[in-house]
Structure 1
Amino acid sequence: MHKRVPVIAANWKMFKTKDEALEFIFAVNGHMPSTDQVESIICAPAILLNLLVKREGENLRIAAQNMHYKDEGAFTGENSPAQVKTAGAEYILIGHSERRNIFNETDEEVNLKMHAAFKYDLAPILCIGEELDVRESNQTKQVLDNQLEIAFKNVTKEQALKTIVAYEPVWAIGTGKTATPQMANETIKDVRSKLAHLYGNEVAMQIRILYGGSVKTDNIEALLEESDIDGALIGGAALDHNNFLKFVEAAKNK
C-alpha cells in the first residue's frame, strides 16, 4: 500500500501583482516541508509563472491555472502547453469550475487539455464538481462519474497515476458553505471508486484526491483527518502567506 503524499495547492486565481507575488514567495520559501512530506503548489496567473519559478525553493512547485490544448496557433490571449512548460511550471490546473462556468469549457475540452498536459510532461490537477441543484437532487455521483469518464478518456494507467484530482462542490466555492468533512470524504470515496472502475483498485488507491471549496485554516485539519482526502485546493484563504504556511503545516501532520 503506497502512502499518498498530501498536496496543498493555492489557487491564486486573478490575484496578485508582481510585487505581491514576490513578497509571498519570499515569505514561504524557506518554510516548505520536503516534497516527500507534502507537495506544496502555487497555481499562479500565467504572467507570473516565470517570475515565481525562478525563485521557487526546492520544496515549492508552480502550476499554471489554464492553457490551450493546441500546440500553437492563432489564439490571441491564450497560452500553449509548450509555453507553460518552458515557463517552468510543473503542474497545470484543468477544468476548474470557473473555467467551466464562466468560460464555457466543456468536458471534451477538459479531456483535450489532459492529453496536452501529458504530451508536454505537465502533471494535471483535474477539477471536478457539482452545482447546488445537482447536490439537492441527489445526482452528485452521476455528474462526477460523467466528468471523470470524459476527462480520463484514452488516458493510460501511467498517465492517470500522474494526475491529481480536485473535488470542488461548486456550491461551496467562495460562498462560505463547506461540505462537512464527512460529506466531502463520502463524495471523494465515490470518486475513488469511479477511478477504481476505470483503472483498477491499485491505481485508484495511489491517486491523490483533494477537496476544495471554502477551505479555511480552521477546517483544514478536520478535512485532512478524513480517510480519503489527500489535501486541499484552496482559493481566497491561501492568498495570505501565513495561512498558506498553516495549510502546509496541517498537511505535514496528516
Structure 2
Amino acid sequence: MTKLSVNINKVATLRNARGGNNPDVEKVAQDCQLFGAQGITVHPRPDERHIRYQDVREIKPLITTEFNIEGNPIPKYIDLVLEVKPTQVTLVPDGDDQLTSNHGWDTIRNKEFLVDVIGRFKEAGIRTSIFVDPSEEMVRGAKECGADRVELYTEPYAANYMLDRKEAIKPFLDASVAACESGLGLNAGHDLSLVNLAYYHKMIPWTDEVSIGHALISDALYMGLKNTIEAYLECLKQ
C-alpha cells in the first residue's frame, strides 16, 4: 500500500505568524500518526520561516512511523540530517529564498555533487530520495547517483489534471516505469490533493509514498485533521 506522509510545514507557518507555540507542531506530528498517517515530512529552510531546525530535533523522538526530512543539501542541512538520522532524506534543489519547490534536480549535471552527498547519508544508514521532474532521463540519472528512491515533482500533473488528466499523467507514468525498471523506490509530492490523488494512485499504484502538506492542512481547516487524513488514506485504497 502507498504510504501517506504528512508534511507539517504549514502548521509551523501558522505558529510562527504569532510566535509562541500555538499550534503545537510536535503535537500535530503525533496526532497525524494517531489518525493514520504512515509518515511525517518536514522541510527546514535556511531562514526557518516555517519548520525550524530545532523542531526537527524535537520531533524525531516522537515519530514511531517514518520521518522524512526534505531540503537542499547545504552544509547546515547535511549536518542536521546526520545528527537526527531520519528514516529518509529527500534532496530538493531549492534556493535559499525560494517560496516553494518548483523543479527537480538535473541528476546528470549534478551527478558528482549528488554522489558525494548521497554517499554520506547512506553511510549513516539513511534512505535517500532525489526530487526530480517526471523525466525518464533524470530518473535513471538518480540511479547512477546512488539514490534509493526518486520523488516525482507532481505540480505539473496537478495543474493540468482538470484540463486532461490522461495527458497530465503520461510523463509521470513513463517516469514511474523507468524508476521501476531501474530498481528505484518511488515517491511523489507537490500539489497532490483530494481532487487528483485517487487517479494518480490508480494509474501508478506502485508508488511507495506520497508526501502531502499544503492541500491536506488546508482541507483540515474545514474537515478536521482526523477526517482529512482518513479521506486521503481512502484515496490510496482505491
User: What CA RMSD, in Å, does the superposition of the two structures yield over aligned residues?
Assistant: 3.5
TM-aligned CA distance change 1:146 to 1:221, over 3 Å: closer
Correspondence for 1:235: 213
**Letter matched to residue 139 of structure 2:** L
Contact 1:214 1:234 in 2 (8 A): yes
Contact 2:70 2:92 in 1 (8 A): no
Q: Say whether 1:212 aligns with 2:211.
A: no
Correspondence for 1:195: 179
Contact 1:189 1:228 in 2 (8 A): no
Q: Say whether 1:54 aligns with 2:43.
A: no
Contact 2:7 2:41 in 1 (8 A): yes
Correspondence for 1:66: 71
Correspondence for 2:90: 93
Which secondary structure state, in structure 1, belongs to the residue aligned with residue 141 of structure 2?
helix
**Letter matched to residue 39 of structure 2:** S
Structure 2 distance, partners of 1:110, 1:100, is 18
The 5 A counterparts of 1:1-254 are 5-13=1-9, 16=12, 17=15, 19-20=22-23, 21-32=25-36, 39-45=38-44, 46-56=53-63, 58=64, 60-66=65-71, 68=73, 75=75, 78-81=76-79, 83-95=80-92, 98=94, 102=98, 107=107, 108=110, 109-129=113-133, 144-155=135-146, 163-171=148-156, 177-178=160-161, 182-183=166-167, 185-195=169-179, 199=182, 203=183, 207=185, 209-228=186-205, 230=207, 231-239=209-217, 240=220, 241-242=225-226, 243-251=228-236, 253-254=237-238
Contact 1:9 1:42 in 2 (8 A): yes
Structure 2 distance, partners of 1:178, 1:47, is 37
TM-score (norm 2): 0.67
Deviations 1:34-90 (A, max 9, x none): xxxxx433234333122212222x3x3211122637xxxxx5xx1225x32432421
Give 1:227 deviation, angstroms.
Answer: 3.9
- How many equivalent pairs are there? 205
TM-aligned CA distance change 1:12 to 1:146, over 3 Å: farther
Which secondary structure state, in structure 2, belongs to the residue aligned with residue 65 of structure 1?
strand
Structure 1 distance, partners of 2:140, 2:97, is 19
Identity of aligned residues (%): 7
TM-score (norm 1): 0.63
Contact 2:150 2:179 in 1 (8 A): no
**Letter matched to residue 212 of structure 2:** I
Unmatched segments (≥5 aa) in structure 1: 34-38, 70-74, 131-143
Unmatched segments (≥5 aa) in structure 2: 16-20, 45-52
**Letter matched to residue 188 of structure 1:** F
Which secondary structure state, in structure 2, belongs to the residue aligned with residue 53 of structure 1?
helix
TM-aligned CA distance change 1:106 to 1:185, over 3 Å: closer
Give 1:14 deviation, angstroms.
Answer: 6.9
Structure 1 distance, partners of 2:97, 2:152, is 15
**Letter matched to residue 250 of structure 1:** C
